């Protein structure tokens, strides 16, 4: 159990959550590179509308660790699915578009995750876009959320840039289920 990391990705709609998940699956060799995106969005309506509706689990292997991703909806209408995802993990990747910055829905979900004691890894996505301003958005994260900007990982889910840093941070920063249970025994009725 010490080699397991259970995590989700929380983000505003269209900040690149499913694209990041796709690249993580590809880089870990869990799936081969495919032409279409959003491998975890399996329902027809998810593919048609380009949104995640139902939580979807995915398992990856990296450096002897089992990484279990719960892909969560980013749309406010599917908050129940987000709550279910947060209850099943010990850590959350906070994914923010480097050109748009922090959005209200992202903060709402982030505060839920923090209330549950989840460790947070801040990740700025879409740094390959001309309008990206990672320094400004990293400053927003530090000022609004209190996570030092030095802990922010800048990535491009589209190109795969720095996704390996996110995978390594998951191993290093998130607790195993056992360690999480020991840290928060009351949450588990212990």
Q: Is the pLDDT of residue 36 over 80?
A: no
Q: Is the pLDDT of residue 176 over 80?
A: yes
Q: Using the Cα atoms of residue 7, residue 11, residue 17 and residue 20 in order, give the sign of their dihedral.
A: negative
Pair of tokens at residue 173: 């920063």
Mean of pLDDT values over 162-186: 96
Pair of tokens at residue 116: 């549950």
Q: How confident is the model at residue 61 (pLDDT cuts 50, 70, 90)?
A: very high
Query: Where in the chain are the domains?
Result: 4-183
Start-end of H helices in 28-158: 44-49, 79-87, 104-115, 134-140
Low-confidence winner among 26-35, 56-65, 115-124, 125-134 (lowest mean pLDDT): 26-35
Specify the CATH class of 4-183 in words.
Answer: alpha beta
Tell me the three state secondary structure of residue 145. Answer: helix
């Amino acid at each position: 159990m010490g080699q397991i990391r259970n995590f989700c990705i929380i983000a505003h709609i269209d900040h690149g959550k499913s694209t990041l998940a796709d690249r993580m699956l590809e880089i870990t060799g869990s799936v081969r590179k495919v032409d279409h995106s959003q491998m975890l969005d399996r329902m027809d309506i998810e593919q048609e509308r380009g949104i995640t509706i139902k939580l979807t689990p995915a398992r990856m292997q990296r450096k002897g660790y089992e990484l279990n991703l719960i892909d969560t909806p980013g749309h406010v209408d599917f908050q129940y699915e987000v709550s279910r995802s947060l209850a099943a993990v010990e850590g959350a990747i906070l994914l923010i578009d480097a050109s748009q910055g922090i959005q209200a829905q992202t903060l709402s979900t982030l505060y839920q995750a923090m209330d549950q004691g989840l460790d947070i890894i801040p990740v700025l996505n879409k740094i390959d876009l001309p309008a990206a301003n990672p320094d400004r958005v990293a400053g927003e994260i530090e000022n609004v959320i209190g996570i030092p900007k030095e802990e922010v990982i800048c990535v491009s889910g589209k190109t795969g840039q720095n996704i390996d840093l996110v995978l390594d941070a998951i191993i290093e920063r998130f607790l195993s289920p056992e360690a999480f249970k020991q840290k928060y025994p009351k949450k588990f009725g212990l």
